[in-house]
Structure 1
Amino acid sequence: MEPIRVGIIGVGNVLNQYLDKIGVHPEVDVVALADVNAAAVAARAAEYSVPKALTPDQLLADPEVELVLNLTPPKLHAPVTLQAIAAGKHVLSEKPFATSLEEAQQILDAARAAGVKVGSAPTTFLGSGMQTSRKLIDDGWIGRPVAAFGSFACRGYEYWHPNVDPFYSPGAGPMLDIGPYLITNLVNIFGPAKRVAASAPRSSETRPRPTADGGFDGVIEIQTPTHVTGTIEFESGGVATVIVSWDVWNHNLPHLEIYGTGGSLATPNPDHFEGAPVVRRGEPRDLSLDMTPPGGGDWRETPITHRDDAYRGIGLAEFGYAIRNGLEPRTGGDFAYHSLEILLAFEASAAQGRHIEIESTCERPRPLPSVGPHEPYRFD
């Protein structure tokens, strides 16, 4: 297959996560980088031996670029994606797909009119840990999946992120930032959702702004919920409980566990591409009055069934393969829109005090074929 020729707009913190292992994916040829910061894009192009360091407008006008990877800040995802579509490019965007359903619908409409493919990260559900989890569930190791629990919780990003204000602005917050890793993996396991119920408070109106020397300088205005919790009901009959928070110092919560009629499965971190799930089949002791305590019983780590050096470049490789072969990418527009609608439904449910029905749907992503550690990745 001729590699898909990729141009990347945005050379910030996440770029290395796409390019550090891009060499394992011969389906991808990164031909250009672009950013409004000319010095930064020149340095990054030299670092990764990318032949062209351009402005965003130059990249969109470059006929060599077929697929744009949009790594701009979240509020620019939709505008940049629409500009790329107008230039006749396919687009894979970092999460979130957009910050509103209106923007997301504009993207889908524009892409269909232009005859191009669009989609969105996160693509961690394509990694070995989550694909192994998917295979174990599909093969019946825990029976029929009926419930799940997922969480990401910490104290917030201001103590380490160099530009934290956008994370606390409208259209951001923990649900749109870290929530996508849970939601996309849950849709990968259960299929499309049908409704959401949630609460979404914030613990304060401002937070102290830390400085590098350990002091504080002014405040950060908090304009988004910082603790979001709720449930998702899926068309398949399963239900998931989700917590994402920037109000928690410490916890003992799992990242993602799936509960079936015959046992339970704890996945690796849904923000990562590697790791092995652990499985615990139902045991007689679980039926006693004194239930087995959390973590008790015979949990067993399973061998992985998929090559485990993908990193974020696997999303580009899968997208490129789909374009070359006339397929819908597993992270394509309907999947991206549906995932975004679920994410936004949490805050809408909290604000309106009711269940929010999910109006869109999507296909459950096709599982990736299993491959060994020295075999090429397969995306058929």
Structure 2
Amino acid sequence: MAAAEGLGGWVKISAIGAIAIAAAMVSTAVVTVSLYGRKARKLATAVRELEASLAAAHKDSASERRGRTRAQQALRKALAQQNSDEVKQVVESSYPMAPIGTVQSCFSTRNGTPRQPLLVPLARACLVFDPGRVPKEALEGLSEYSHCWILYVFHLNTNLDRLWREPSRSKFKAKVRVPRLKGGKMGVLATRSPHRPCPIGLTVAKVEALDGHALLLSGVDLVDGTPVLDIKPYLPYSDSIRGATVPSWVKAYNTLAVASVSFSPEFSPSFLSCWKQAETQSLYASQDEFQNLIKQVLSWDIRSLSQVNCPHNVSVKHEHESQNAVKGSDDVGDEESYQNLSKKPVSSSGEVVYHLILEGIDISYRIDNSSNILVEKASIFSNNRRLYSYSMWKDKLSNQTHSVLDVESAEEIEEGISLKS
């Protein structure tokens, strides 16, 4: 009897303890839920406040943008209603553009710069962007494209000041002489002449590598020091137009090609001496690669129309400083001097020496009446000081080559698997 009462008492105590523990757990849970609920309400309130603040900011921004747009439209409308020269000048200068970068090209002068892009695959240039205008983040993703468009200024045109400040006195020519027409004239806007109403050029180049604020390009037709206004990626699906047509004179593609390019025995020792001085600043990996560049450039007749019609010896300094714009599809020079030159007989002696300057190296050559070129010798014309040379691009180019090979290998493997299956 006593044992039963003791057992019953222990059961009662155990039940009371269990109830107390349960009550404590419930209390703890209630407190926890209350705390979480309080935090959740605070977070919800904070979120609503942030959303309201963001909406107000968007509203203020939109209002400011609409106000700015209305002000600009009102200003332009007011200016358009006036005809003073001063107001006209303000209107004309209301779209200011400054270069975002500068080209460091293998072409030291206009003479020899290809008339069109991609004609010389080995033609390299480094486009160095202005860090103050173009942050590195703006270039992210560009290296994933194979080619890009480049908008630039024909900064070596001799009439830029007059063209921009006094258009009526710029002596702008509506028609220009075209090499493929052997001096025949064509409307300037139907050509790619550098002498245009607005001297802006458009070209396409192959993207080789990207390093910070520098972009390595190939296949360029840009002279050293060219200011660049903008670049855009090349999109094959929209930029390549199927069925596009051109005039018959443009199709005469080989009219500017030469018959052959060869090197004299005296060229190698003279070029080796120059290469030893220029190697560390060059965009090229070896002497042989640079010589291939020379051959590719001279595979097209780079002479101006005046030089073709009246071959004459010109000093390197004179040719560098005052030669007419050879770069581009057209030659634009003084009409009277062109007519006088065209009346003179073409020399048949083949003794005229021409010059091509690449990366500060003067390449002298001769061309006979059958368009056979003999490269005679090389000499240092100027010492190029480059921020970027081949040694700085070597690793990136090597990695890029490996990546291309890896992709090609993967494609071959996939193709092999599909063939087997």
Structure showing greater radius of gyration is 2
Query: What TM-score results when the alignment is normalised by the length of structure 2?
Result: 0.21
Structure number with higher strand proportion: 1
**TM-score normalised to the size of structure 1?**
0.23
Task: Answer 1 or 2: which has greater helix percent.
Answer: 2
